[in-house]
Structure formats: structure tokens, C-alpha cells
């Protein structure tokens, strides 16, 4: 019997918990994407609620890790996957918060980068869902996350270049730096997805 033959009441419950956390991450990033053109107190509060729910999922998972010695994956890998999901949700919230506080409207660069990060979150969700029965398929989804991360980085560099492509006055600088900060948060969100994808690669090697 392998690890994934365990019942939900055994160590395999951690896989179910990671699936739930992955789904919450997708929900949060989708909400960010849908809110880019209506950034206000209400949408920030709604995403804050999603982030709190994500944080609670992680807290419960970590508490269960402290209580359990037999797990379907290495304890460190479970911890790091959850950490990656949580990091993405946190950056989604801070992105929306900064757009609201700094009065940064969504431009094409922001929309395209967030859309790619949303695809990354969906790939991570599919990876954990396929891990038990089709680990190589899970690896394919994890590789897609890395591919999309490189796309986000290219968009990020192009966006920064465009920000400083024209002559600027002193009065222009605050808005320029505010927008760059939002770009940076989206880029960091993509990095967190890629970090989680790398964990999947290590998990599949250990299970092979």
C-alpha cells in the first residue's frame, strides 16, 4: 500500500487540505482579477476576508502537522506548498490594497500579469488534484507554472521600461513609483507560485 492509498482519516487528509487551500488561492486571485476595474473599500474588504480564510486554512494545516507524524508527503513539502499558496493570496491582497491606497488604476500590464498569475494558481490546483493518481501529469502542470512565471517577468520588465520611457518631471515621480510598486507586488505573487511549483517537482521525484 502506498501513501496515497491511505484514507482521508489518515495522513492522506493533508492532500485534501492542500486541495482546499489551492482552491481558495484560485478564488482569491480570480477575485483580484475581477476587481481590477472596481478597486474600492468593498472589494478590498472582500479580498481581505478571503485572505483571512486562506490564513485559517494554513493555520489548521500547520497545527495538524504538529500532531501527526505519518503524512502522505514529507512534512516540509506540505508546509512549503501551503506557504506558497498563502504567499500568493497575501500578495493578491496587498496588490489590491496598494492600488486603492495609492490610487493606481489598472492598465494593460497589470491586467495581463494578473491574468497569468490566475492561470498559475489554476495550474497549481490541477497539480495537487493530479498528484495521487497521475504524478507526471502533476509535474506537467507545475512546469506550466514556471513557464507562465517567465512570461510575467517579461511583462514586468516591459512595464518598467515603459514607465521610464518618456521625459519625466518631478511631479510625475510619485505616480510612477506607486505604479512600479504595484507591478512589483504582482511579480512577487508570480514568484510565490513558481516556488510552490518547484516543491511539486521535488515531491514527484521522491514518489518516483
169 Rama class: left (phi>0) / alpha (psi -120 to 50) / beta: beta
Q: What are phi and psi of 97, to 5 degrees?
A: -60, -45
Separation of alpha carbons 60 and 142, rounded Å: 25
Residue 37 three-state SS:
coil
pLDDT for 116 equals 98
pLDDT for 10 equals 47
pLDDT in tens, 167-198: 878 888 899 999 999 999 999 999 999 999 99
The stretches in the chain having pLDDT less than 50 are 1-11
> With contact defined as beta carbons under 8 Å apart, do 78 and 22 qualify?
no
Domain ranges for the chain, please list them: 3-207
> With contact defined as beta carbons under 8 Å apart, do 70 and 179 qualify?
no
pLDDT for 8 equals 42
pLDDT for 166 equals 81
pLDDT for 1 equals 34
In the DSSP assignment, the letter for residue 200 is H
> With contact defined as beta carbons under 8 Å apart, do 97 and 54 qualify?
no
| CATH code for the structural domain at 3-207 | 1.20.58.220
Amino acid at each position: 500500500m502506498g501513501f496515497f492509498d491511505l484514507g482521508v482519516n489518515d495522513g492522506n487528509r493533508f492532500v485534501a487540505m492542500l486541495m482546499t487551500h489551492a482552491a481558495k488561492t484560485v478564488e482569491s486571485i480570480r477575485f483580484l482579477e475581477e476587481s481590477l476595474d472596481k478597486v474600492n473599500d468593498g472589494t478590498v474588504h472582500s479580498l481581505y476576508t478571503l485572505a483571512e480564510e486562506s490564513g485559517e486554512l494554513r493555520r489548521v494545516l500547520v497545527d495538524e502537522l504538529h500532531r501527526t507524524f505519518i503524512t502522505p508527503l514529507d512534512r516540509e513539502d506540505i508546509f512549503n506548498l501551503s506557504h506558497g499558496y498563502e504567499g500568493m493570496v497575501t500578495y493578491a491582497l496587498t496588490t489590491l490594497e496598494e492600488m486603492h491606497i495609492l490610487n493606481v488604476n489598472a492598465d494593460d500590464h497589470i491586467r495581463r500579469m494578473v491574468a497569468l498569475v490566475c492561470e498559475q494558481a489554476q495550474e497549481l490546483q490541477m497539480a495537487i488534484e493530479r498528484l495521487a493518481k497521475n504524478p507526471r501529469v502533476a509535474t506537467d502542470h507545475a512546469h506550466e507554472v514556471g513557464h507562465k512565471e517567465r512570461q510575467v517577468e517579461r511583462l514586468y520588465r516591459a512595464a518598467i521600461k515603459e514607465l521610464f520611457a518618456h521625459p519625466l518631471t518631478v511631479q510625475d515621480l510619485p505616480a510612477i513609483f506607486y505604479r512600479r510598486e504595484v507591478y512589483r507586488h504582482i511579480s512577487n505573487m508570480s514568484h510565490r507560485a513558481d516556488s510552490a511549483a518547484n516543491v511539486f517537482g521535488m515531491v514527484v521525484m521522491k514518489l518516483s
